[in-house]
Amino acid sequence: MPQTLDASAFDTPRILLAGTVDYAMYDRFRDQFAAAPDSGLVVIELSTLGGDPEVARMMGEDVRFQSDINPERRVVFLGKAAIYSAGATFMSFFARQNRYLTRGTRLMIHERKMDKTLHIVGPLTTCVASVKALLNELEQSIAIQNEGFSNLICGSQVSMEEVLERAPSNWYLEAREAQALGLIEGVI
């Protein structure tokens, strides 16, 4: 089990990210991650009010993949001020013992959102296909969302039932509460 880190370990994060989780952040993340050392501690500091959950998943997969390639490198998440939505998705890719938040940081967990209008016009079989396509999209989005929730709560005292009950109304947790529930390793 990796050692619990103290504040001195977070003095000079290698990767600094702030703002909306989007493709521009992904580019900054990739550039900084490529320049990070292949061994030792690599801290990724993030502050975000959210953004694109698929970009967060891409960043998370990069962390997972690079951690498998370079097991002598410990990649650690440090959330600062606000870790909302896609930020929580990104955090879920880190093992619980590699998740830290600064004092007073708020973590916000919610369900994915969709904003679509389904306009049905044309031959009936085409109409049915359009409805099924949207239903498939919804079902897959829910499955992906729940995989992220499962990763986030792994090793914590939070059950999937609790996340599914609280996420629809935006579940906010202060850093110490997240630590008490076992969602993160420590508060810096």
CATH number of the domain residue 162 falls in:
3.90.226.10
Please report whether residue 110 resides in a domain. yes
Please report whether residue 63 resides in a domain. yes
User: How many domains, the chain?
Assistant: 1
**pTM for this model (two decimals):** 0.94
Give tens-digit pLDDT for 33-64: 999 999 999 999 999 999 999 999 999 999 99
- As a whole number of angstroms, the distance between CA 96 and CA 154 comes to 8
- As a whole number of angstroms, the distance between CA 11 and CA 1 comes to 22
Could you tell me the two tokens for 15?
Answer: 């990767």
